[in-house]
Structure 1
Amino acid sequence: MTLPDVRAALLAGGLGERMGHLTDTLCKPLVPYAASCRLVDFSVANAARSGVPEIVLLSLHRERDLIDHLLTHWDGRGVRINFGPHDRLIRSGPLTAGETLPPRPPESGTADALLNNAEYLFAPGARDVLIQHADHVYVHDYGPMAAAHRAADADVTIGVQRIERRFVHLFGMVDVDDDLRVRRLVEKPAEPTSDLVFTAFCLFKADVLEEVLTSLAALGDDGWQHDISRDVLPHMIREGRRVLAHPITGYWADIGTVERYHLEQLKLLDRPFPLPPETLPRTLAATAPRHRPEHESLTGADVTVPPGASVRSSLLFPGCVIEPGAEIDRSVILPGATVRAGARLGDTIAAAGEDVTGTRTGLAHLRTGGVPPR
């Protein structure tokens, strides 16, 4: 299904502080994933797959690197990337090496990102606005969701998924009636009463979203939290707007912390594979990664596991090097990392370009600021 009158808003402005040292030199959307691509590529690929013609980039941090990536791998290849206030500059000619971009206005939350880019999001041509996040991992066609949204004449349709009740407090909890009308959305509830959570992608009628954002902005800084799931959607529910839920099946992950980054990638090794290699975006290499049953691992096509090396239940990214005598178990080896002979890694991550020797277990070396596991 193609969606010519849908415009996507890609939220890519978070600092990524809970990703520890993985975001020391990268913006979070560019952190590598699944031995195949970067986090941001999943949402962009989903939009392109669904026939969404344009994505408006809403970013703040290390934006130049993100723009370079999107220009190289996505812009004009099934989808146009609108770089908002920078779009005219970028399309006037190639950016020079080291060229910086004018800073965007500061934001207190995701709703601010929408307000600051209203002229691009609500330009003529879009009947609906699709909200996406640049750190969510899933492979999805938005066509059925858009069809259900329009058939029901919904003001907004939100993706929802059932998860284990013990994890609901990490997400936005959703209560629905028998007709999938949303009765309540509570962000990170202390005592969950439902196992249904908001997947944080949703489809708004463009005119309704613009109207609601304008009315909330009129409250002033003290009247709201500037957030889609804390303010915009609860406000619409209280007003009696048609807020509907669309159940999402299959693999979906919100990569919020370094612990979750590690754990969710190891889940990709489970059978049946939640995200088969052929479904993954490919921006780190032209060839899809492959499952290596002899190692129970997912590896870039160019990665060699030499005789004498032991690799079990791990992800080896394109461009990494494993030396004979290395032992790797339940670990993620990022692009350009080298694991030397005699190194022993367990339940850990080797950062991009790192030279790893000795023994390493766990993720303590990547945490910053004493952030607890999520």
Structure 2
Amino acid sequence: MTTARTAMVLAAGYGERMRPLTDTMPKPLVPLAGRALLDHVLDRLAAAGVETAVVNVHYLPEQIETHVQARADRAPKTLISDERALLLDTGGGTTKALSHLGDGPFFVHNSDSAWSEGVTPALANMLRVWDPARMDCLLLLAPLSTSIGYHARGDFDMTPDGRLSRRGERQVVPFAFAGVSLCTAALFEGAPQGPFSLNVLWDRALDKERLYGVRLDGRWMHVGTPEALKEAEASFEREGA
């Protein structure tokens, strides 16, 4: 099976929709079921075999740096990518960290993406499905029907073989992006300079029919607001996640 030894953890945003919790605390440190969201992510990456994670910082960066230092004896080894001077968005932030991520494959993981595992652990399943001959990028997708805290019309439709298409303007599609992707450094060849969204690179892959998805076998928790955090807490308690 494919292995991913490195990962990018996107932790630099302001978390504005999570206010007032994020007035004095960066969103990655907001607790969920007794652990910081960032710890949920790093522990899951370690369980999937990731040895080195790069965490980018911008908003209240010292708090994240202190938190990462306090878990220095726990896997994965965690490096800081400093975006204090300029917030680079998901694509620009990952591009800045490529020298630490290697050729890949590597995960790119939102710091606020949480879920309860189903029968098949999500990250291990992504590694099992990964096929660079067909794919430029593989996204973890959550069914709307079982997701918590997500109230939009979905992001992608998916064919039986996993190929993705985006939701049309008036369309409702069955899957939301669950905050994790798997790719190689090749995805970033010719990437824009400065701040940009990963969506730019995903659209490029879509045009070549090389953007694929894998369904989450579990319950995704879109922890975007204080209300959604409460829903996720209740779900963790029910499911023992």
Please give the TM-score of this superposition, normalised by the length of structure 2.
0.85
2:202 aligned partner: 233
> Which secondary structure does the structure 2 equivalent of 1:71 belong to?
helix
Cα distance per residue 1:68-102 (max 9 Å; x no partner): 112212x34231101235xxxxxxxxxxxxxxxxx
Larger Rg: 1
What is the CA distance between 1:155 and its match in structure 2? 1.7
> For the residues of structure 2 that align with 1:269 and 1:139, how far apart are their CA atoms?
11
Specify whether residues 52 and 18 from structure 1 end up closer, same or farther in structure 2 by C-alpha distance, changes over 3 A only: same
2:60 aligned partner: 62
1:146 aligned partner: 127
Specify whether residues 128 and 234 from structure 1 end up closer, same or farther in structure 2 by C-alpha distance, changes over 3 A only: same
Q: Does the CA contact (< 8 Å) of 2:2 and 2:127 recur in 1?
A: no
What is the CA distance between 1:168 and its match in structure 2? 6.6
Cα distance per residue 1:104-147 (max 9 Å; x no partner): 3312521121123233234xxx4212110111112554222112
Question: Which is richer in helix?
Answer: 2
Q: Does the CA contact (< 8 Å) of 1:165 and 1:194 recur in 2?
A: no
Q: Which amino acid is the alignment partner of residue 81 of structure 2? A: G
Q: Does the CA contact (< 8 Å) of 2:144 and 2:154 recur in 1?
A: no
Q: Which amino acid is the alignment partner of residue 6 of structure 1? A: R
Q: Which amino acid is the alignment partner of residue 85 of structure 2? A: P
- Selected match of 2:110 from 124, 133, 139: 133
What is the CA distance between 1:53 and its match in structure 2? 0.7
1:107 aligned partner: 87
What does 1:152-163 align with in structure 2 at a 5 Å threshold? 153-163=134-144
> Which secondary structure does the structure 1 equivalent of 2:131 belong to?
helix
1:255 aligned partner: 223
1:195 aligned partner: 174
> For the residues of structure 2 that align with 1:253 and 1:152, how far apart are their CA atoms?
31
Q: Which amino acid is the alignment partner of residue 188 of structure 2? A: E
Q: Which amino acid is the alignment partner of residue 226 of structure 1? A: F
What is the CA distance between 1:37 and its match in structure 2? 0.6
Q: Does the CA contact (< 8 Å) of 1:169 and 1:190 recur in 2?
A: no
Specify whether residues 71 and 108 from structure 1 end up closer, same or farther in structure 2 by C-alpha distance, changes over 3 A only: closer
**Range 159-168 or range 253-262, more displaced:** 159-168
What is the CA distance between 1:267 and its match in structure 2? 2.8
Q: Does the CA contact (< 8 Å) of 1:32 and 1:39 recur in 2?
A: yes
- Selected match of 1:47 from 45, 48, 52: 45
Q: Which runs of 5 or more residues in structure 2 are unaligned?
A: none
> For the residues of structure 2 that align with 1:165 and 1:48, how far apart are their CA atoms?
26
Identity of aligned pairs, percent? Answer: 22
What is the CA distance between 1:244 and its match in structure 2? 1.4
2:183 aligned partner: 204
> For the residues of structure 2 that align with 1:144 and 1:152, how far apart are their CA atoms?
17
Residues 1:177 and 2:159 aligned together: yes
Aligned length: 236
Calculate the aligned-residue CA RMSD, in Å.
Answer: 2.7
> For the residues of structure 2 that align with 1:185 and 1:168, how far apart are their CA atoms?
17
What is the CA distance between 1:157 and its match in structure 2? 1.0
> For the residues of structure 2 that align with 1:32 and 1:171, how far apart are their CA atoms?
27
1:301 aligned partner: none
Specify whether residues 83 and 109 from structure 1 end up closer, same or farther in structure 2 by C-alpha distance, changes over 3 A only: closer
> Which secondary structure does the structure 1 equivalent of 2:125 belong to?
helix
What is the CA distance between 1:172 and its match in structure 2? 5.1
> For the residues of structure 2 that align with 1:2 and 1:37, how far apart are their CA atoms?
29
2:7 aligned partner: 8
Q: Which amino acid is the alignment partner of residue 158 of structure 2? A: V
What is the CA distance between 1:7 and its match in structure 2? 1.4
Q: Which amino acid is the alignment partner of residue 156 of structure 2? A: V
Higher relative contact order (CA 8 A, sep 6+): 2
> For the residues of structure 1 that align with 2:162 and 2:27, how far apart are their CA atoms?
33
What is the CA distance between 1:165 and its match in structure 2? 9.9
